[in-house]
Structures are given as structure tokens and as C-alpha cells.
Structure 1
Amino acid sequence: MHKSDVIAHFGGKSKTAKALGIAPSSITQWGEIIPESRAYQIEHITGGALSADHYRNKLKTA
């Protein structure tokens, strides 16, 4: 899951932070691929509109 996709989905960094219950500065610290725990949280919040498949696929190849 890419940070740019998440921010676009929620409509900005502040709205993303509010949806996740975190500070906007936390989002700034993410790399372009967001942390795994947040990816699953976002997948849940968005009802699967944004998927954490990146991490599921990583587990399958390990």
C-alpha cells in the first residue's frame, strides 16, 4: 500500500490522520510503502477499498 494512494483516498494528510486517530506528523514519517500494521488498519477502515495485499504477497513468497 502506497502512502500517496492512502492520502488521495482520504483527501489529504490531515484527513488521513484523523481517520486513523494519529497525528499528521506520523504520516510524514512513513516511507512510500506504509507500515504493515497501518496497512491492515486502513484496509479494515476502507472496507477493502485499499488493500494490504503487498504484505500478504510478501508472506506467501517467504
Structure 2
Amino acid sequence: MKTAAAISHFGSQGALAKALNVSQPAISKWGEEVPILRAYQIEVLTQGKLKVTSPLLGSSISSAA
């Protein structure tokens, strides 16, 4: 999951940080890709609107239920 996509979905870095209960500077340290555990958390928070992706393959790695 791209950090920019997560920020865009929530509207701002601050709003994303608040949703995840982390500091805004923590978000700014992520780089281009959301850390994998945070990506799963964001997928749940967005009810699947944002999907976890493999940073190596660029494809979705979430399993269909």
C-alpha cells in the first residue's frame, strides 16, 4: 500500500495518524510504502477500500474470505 494513497484516503497525514492512534511524525517516517502491519490496519479501517499490497510484487496479498 502506498503511503500517498493512505494519506489521500484520510485527507491528511494528521487525519491518518489520528485514525491509527500514532503521531504525525511517525507517518512521515514511513517512506513510499506503508509498513505491512499498519497496511493491514488501514485495510480494516477502510473496510477494504485500500488493500494491502506486496512491496516486492506490487500486487494485492489480502486473501479473499
TM-score normalised by the chain length of structure 2 = 0.81
TM-score normalised by the chain length of structure 1 = 0.85
Which letter does structure 1 place at the counterpart of 2:46? T
How many pairs does the alignment contain? 57
- Runs (4+) of structure 1 exceeding 4 A deviation are none
1:27 matched to which residue of 2?
Answer: 27
Give the gaps of 5 or more residues in structure 2: 56-60
Give the gaps of 5 or more residues in structure 1: 58-62
1:45 matched to which residue of 2?
Answer: 45
Which structure is higher in RCO with an 8 Å CA cutoff and minimum separation 6?
1
Q: Root-mean-square deviation (CA), in Å?
A: 1.5
